[in-house]
Structure 1
Amino acid sequence: MRHGDERLAARLGTLLGPRHPVAAAAVVTPRGTTTAGLGAPLDADFEIGSISKGITGLLYAEALARGEIGAESTLGDLLPLGDAPAAGVTLRSLSTHRSGLPRLPKSAHPWRRAFALWRHGTNPYGESLGQLLDQARTVPLGEPRPRYSNLGFELLGHALARAAGTTYAELLDRRLTTPLGIDRLHVPATADGLAPGALPGRSRRGRPRQPWTGEALGPAGGVRASITGMARLTAALLDGTAPGTAALDPVAPFGRGAGIGAAWITLSVRGRPVTWHNGGTGGFRSWLGLDRAAGTGAVVLSATAAPVDRPGFALLAEHRDDGAR
């Protein structure tokens, strides 16, 4: 069943194919915003995975602008980490994945969790903030080179919340969801906290997957949103009304030919800079991209854990000149 704009829904179905029976897309151009859904209404609630890091990047840039933190503020300035090596890590290095922290701490037994996800579809996260801090106190630091870190962004988000005297969930609501009038952009700490319309996710082979919830996870991968909410965020990023849009500007190299701001990656696609982030959980995939020069953005969300990056880039490329037509 299709919802929203019929033409965009048809194009989304063609780009994604039958592996993505429940999905949604949004396109934002200078001419306006278009949304569409396949198999679910436009207010359906998706996991957006690591696009959560991009949102945390916005909150980081906004906290800098407000003077709540400094780029050289450390985790130990804000979180009770004692004399652990992680206490000396700067927020700037966390925001660009240069902290020396691993992707996940060994104490979290990532391989065991990955196997449980593959075999049983269980949520590999779920820690409280206290448990996250216990893990961080035992983590050694590696070389401060570009190294994608879920742990780093979990800690960054909770440090930002502590600087503002609140929780990460409340910080998100206070700084982004409410000011931008977004209908749904939230962080459920448990499965019991899922909103009405929360979609179930499925693996690439269609097997059910537990929702990825957890207090600790929120800043790195625990945000959920509807396609209308993501469209509103995309429009605000393009017109500069979203708090923390400085996060989009690359400040350091990140991989071959790419630059990174506060989580957001910019690379050249067919000679044009595209700023983007993707996300993946046990049962969902997501992609958000911006051609800032053209004032155009695109979002793809799916309730199936098969990649959507290529369709996302294609959708953005197809619409980047719409404002001039």
Structure 2
Amino acid sequence: MVIALPARSEQNSSPDPLLASQIVDRYAEHIFYGTAATGMAMVAIDGNQRVFTSFGDTRPGNNVRPQKDSLIRIASISKLLTSELLLKLAEDGRLRLDDPLSKFAPPGSNVPTYAGQPIRLINLATHTSGLPREQPGGKPVRPVFVWPTRAERWDWLQTARLTTPPGVSASYSNLAYDLLGDALVRASGMTYPNLLSSKITRPLGMKDTTFTPSPDQCARLMVPEKGASPCVNTLAAIGSGGIYSTPDDIARWMQQFLASDVHQRSPQADRLQTLIYSRNQLTKLEGMDVPGKADALGMGWVYMQPKNGRPGIIQKTGGGGGFITYMAMVPQYNVGVFVVLTRSPLSRFTTMSDGVNNLVTELVGNRAD
């Protein structure tokens, strides 16, 4: 079942520029101090305005504020770019969303089924595959986004068993998204970095978005007080969370969903944010309620219905290597916010996501008459 987001506003009202930036700065300061973050950067888009603000340190105690080109881990927001590649390859005729994963498996590999029902690409993209959140095993202490490798996950899949049919329940799965990334590589005949570059990052001018950061980029990587992980290649986690980027690059990516006088909303944006399952269609929904109740699922995106004066918000969370990320949008009002923070021992996700949800709500309400 496909569920439509509310219709986009026909008028692109432009709030007072100073007032909009004041709103963003006020909430950003509240979020930073409320989360006890080491450092934080935020980008907010509101119609014709794009606001960047930051607080704290790029490294503990260095007194250097995060910049637009500070390197960050976007963590599971990587999944949104994976689902974008899935849709673009479908539009190119390289695959179908309902293709079985087995069609793109390495030669001789087995993909589990449930009573003959296969795992389809759309199941991987909507967390309805029946696969676990993480592949079992691995070292308990290791850098983030370096395990399992492609070979290791396909080796594990040979003996894996599904305990629920695909498409019946939703349970968050990083493993599913890395297998989806592998399938996109097979379908396209390209390496994943080249595919990402050709379809997304190069056209949008996202020059710092990568899996293999250079020494210069690593020198710009924000470092948390808690959970820091080395600046190494993260090609093992191509689909689930391995992308390094910058606030400026992510603003460029986010802009394609939001119209202004100088930016057109991408013709693909509605398809990218299509909602596939409502919550009441699923027997279970796990792992996607942290920033608020998940009422519907898209391809990576999660939708929260309007509630208690808050508009409907389409959002995605992320975290890993001491980073916490969150993106929330109300596309019909051309409002979107991305925030990244580096953790201290006191940092909590919901303090950040509640603040962003409230910020988005106030920006939507800040319309010119």
TM-score (norm 1): 0.85
Cα gap change, 1:285/1:194 in structure 2, threshold over 3 Å: closer, same or farther?
Answer: farther
- In the TM superposition, residue 24 of structure 1 has moved relative to its aligned partner by 0.4
2:62 counterpart residue number: none
| Identity %, equivalent residues | 21
- In the TM superposition, residue 103 of structure 1 has moved relative to its aligned partner by 1.0
The answer as to whether partners of 2:306 and 2:312 remain within 8 angstroms in 1 is yes
The answer as to whether partners of 2:38 and 2:224 remain within 8 angstroms in 1 is no
The answer as to whether partners of 1:250 and 1:261 remain within 8 angstroms in 2 is yes
Distance 2:215 2:274 in 1: 34
* Paired amino acid for 1:141: L
The 5-angstrom pairing of residues 1-325 of structure 1 reads 8-9=24-25, 11-17=27-33, 19-38=36-55, 39-80=65-106, 82=108, 84-86=110-112, 88-106=118-136, 108-109=137-138, 113=140, 116=141, 122-123=143-144, 125-143=146-164, 144=166, 145-188=169-212, 195-202=217-224, 206=226, 208-211=228-231, 213-239=233-259, 240-241=265-266, 245-254=270-279, 255=285, 258-270=295-307, 272-304=311-343, 306=347, 307=349, 308-322=352-366, 324=368
Distance 1:171 1:139 in 2: 29
Q: What SS does structure 1 have at the residue aligned with 2:79?
A: helix
Cα gap change, 1:320/1:277 in structure 2, threshold over 3 Å: closer, same or farther?
Answer: same
Distance 2:71 2:353 in 1: 20
Of 303-312 and 40-49, the range deviating more from structure 2: 303-312
- In the TM superposition, residue 124 of structure 1 has moved relative to its aligned partner by 6.5
What is the CA deviation profile of residues 259-298 of structure 1, one whole-angstrom value per residue up to 9, with x for unaligned ones? 1111101111435221110100031000001101211100
Q: Which has the higher helix share?
A: 1
Distance 1:313 1:86 in 2: 39
- In the TM superposition, residue 75 of structure 1 has moved relative to its aligned partner by 1.8
Cα gap change, 1:6/1:46 in structure 2, threshold over 3 Å: closer, same or farther?
Answer: farther
Q: What SS does structure 2 have at the residue aligned with 1:170?
A: helix
Could you tell me which runs of 5 or more consecutive residues in structure 1 were left unpaired when the two chains were aligned. Answer: none
Of 50-59 and 315-324, the range deviating more from structure 2: 315-324
* Paired amino acid for 2:40: A
TM-score (norm 2): 0.75
Task: Give the length in aligned residue pairs.
Answer: 308
Could you tell me which runs of 5 or more consecutive residues in structure 2 were left unpaired when the two chains were aligned. Answer: 1-20, 56-64, 260-264, 280-284, 286-292
Give 1 or 2 for the bigger CA radius of gyration.
2
Cα gap change, 1:296/1:218 in structure 2, threshold over 3 Å: closer, same or farther?
Answer: same
What is the CA deviation profile of residues 144-166 of structure 1, one whole-angstrom value per residue up to 9, with x for unaligned ones? 32111110000101211221111
- In the TM superposition, residue 132 of structure 1 has moved relative to its aligned partner by 2.7
- In the TM superposition, residue 198 of structure 1 has moved relative to its aligned partner by 3.7
Distance 2:268 2:188 in 1: 15
* Paired amino acid for 2:338: V
The alignment yields a C-alpha RMSD, in angstroms, of 2.6
